[in-house]
Structure 1
Amino acid sequence: MGTALRVFVEQSDLVRGRELTVLVLGDDTTGVEQRLAAVDVSAPGLNVHVASGGTDVRLSVALKAVGAVRVPVLGFFDAEHAPGPDSIAALAAGKPAEILLVLPAGTDVGSRRAALRAAGFPLVAAVELASGEEPGELLIFATGLGKSLEGFKETLWAVDEFAGVRYRDPGDPERHLIDISLNPHPGPLRRELLAHLAETGSATVTELRNFALTETVYRAADATRVLQTLLGSGVVGRDPEQGRLGGDVIIRPL
């Protein structure tokens, strides 16, 4: 948290004329308050509030108290347990609203996706942060804006490749470790697209791009490249058979 606030302070010229409110909640925020005491948070437009007592109990009230109603809201949870429905519902009132979760290894991604979508976050992406064969922490991003999800994916693959971590797609049955790269290894995406086509029978290019964006660690553009490879190798077919690979082209397994 201290590092993030230092960035906001140092880059305050980027938010000149706007207000940024940081609300920190937790069962015990003593350690957080001590770290924040060492940070100069006097930048114009930056307001920091810290409160103990549990997130689910206090988040809705705290958001209203700081005026975070019908304004852009980003909720970040770094916890041993996923946030409860009250916390998710409180954040969903933001216009727009987005959530970033860091959850323990082994968390059921499917149930998390379902809960977030039911609460008003239709676009949900997840990635496993791994350093070896053992399961790693899960990073989940939820939003209602396609451009925000695309931005998250672009940032994901622009991370320093020497950061000491690799990715794993939670939906990949082979649990393939993926090196961080602007052009990531397409193997897991290939398998997931083929499995999806086997289940649905066919799908448009737009639907498959959206599937890659929301159900895998990959970007929509990665899906287009993989589809071109699959078509070139004769693994899938297309209707119509000729012409540009536009969004309305139907892809079917062969």
Structure 2
Amino acid sequence: MWKVDPSYGVRYRAPRDTQQQMLNLVFEPDTGPLRRILRDFIFEAPDGRTIPELKRYALLETVYQPGKVIDAVRQLRNAGAVTTEPRAINTKTRVHLAATPPTPSPSAEQGALW
């Protein structure tokens, strides 16, 4: 899907994105919806999820490439939404929701929508 010529205006929606944000086919897609989808998927598992689980989920249940998962997890961790154990993100990393979710504020993601 990501190899389709983006000049024709083809757009997709991530099926698991509760906000159903339209995605333009570009070389570097907006991963805001992926972060929301992964956060929701992690929420469903009290013991957290491993990076391989998240990559498989991205492959089978979203329009995103599994290679985008590590960057998305890193962004979620930097935003304080998740924690990783160990801190270095690799195939053995387990991702948990943060104990206290970050307070929503106008973010770069919101700015990108306008």
In the alignment of these two chains, the number of paired residues is: 97
**1:230 matched to 2:80:** no
Counterpart of 1:180?
A: 25
Counterpart of 2:4?
A: 159
Write the distance in 2 (CA, Å) between the matches of 1:223 and 1:240: 16
Superposition deviation, residue 160 in structure 1: 1.1
Write the distance in 1 (CA, Å) between the matches of 2:20 and 2:32: 11
Residue 193 of structure 1 aligns with an amino acid whose one-letter code is L
Scaled by the length of structure 2, what TM-score is found? 0.79
In structure 1, the gaps of 5 or more residues are 1-155
Tell me which stretches of 4 or more aligned residues in structure 1 moved more than 6 Å. Answer: none
Aligned ranges 1:65-214 → 2 under 5 Å: 156-201=1-46, 202-214=48-60
Counterpart of 2:93?
A: 249
CA RMSD of aligned residues (A): 1.1
Higher strand share: 1
Superposition deviation, residue 246 in structure 1: 0.8
Write the distance in 2 (CA, Å) between the matches of 1:225 and 1:181: 17
In structure 2, the gaps of 5 or more residues are 99-114
In the TM superposition, what whole-angstrom CA distance separates every residue of 1:94-132 from its partner, at most 9, and x where no partner exists? xxxxxxxxxxxxxxxxxxxxxxxxxxxxxxxxxxxxxxx
Superposition deviation, residue 164 in structure 1: 2.8
User: Contact 1:172–1:188 (CA<8 Å) still a contact in 2?
Assistant: yes
Instruction: Tell me the percent identity.
Output: 32
User: Contact 1:158–1:181 (CA<8 Å) still a contact in 2?
Assistant: no
Superposition deviation, residue 180 in structure 1: 0.3
Counterpart of 2:112?
A: none
Superposition deviation, residue 183 in structure 1: 1.3
Counterpart of 1:220?
A: 66
Write the distance in 2 (CA, Å) between the matches of 1:249 and 1:205: 6
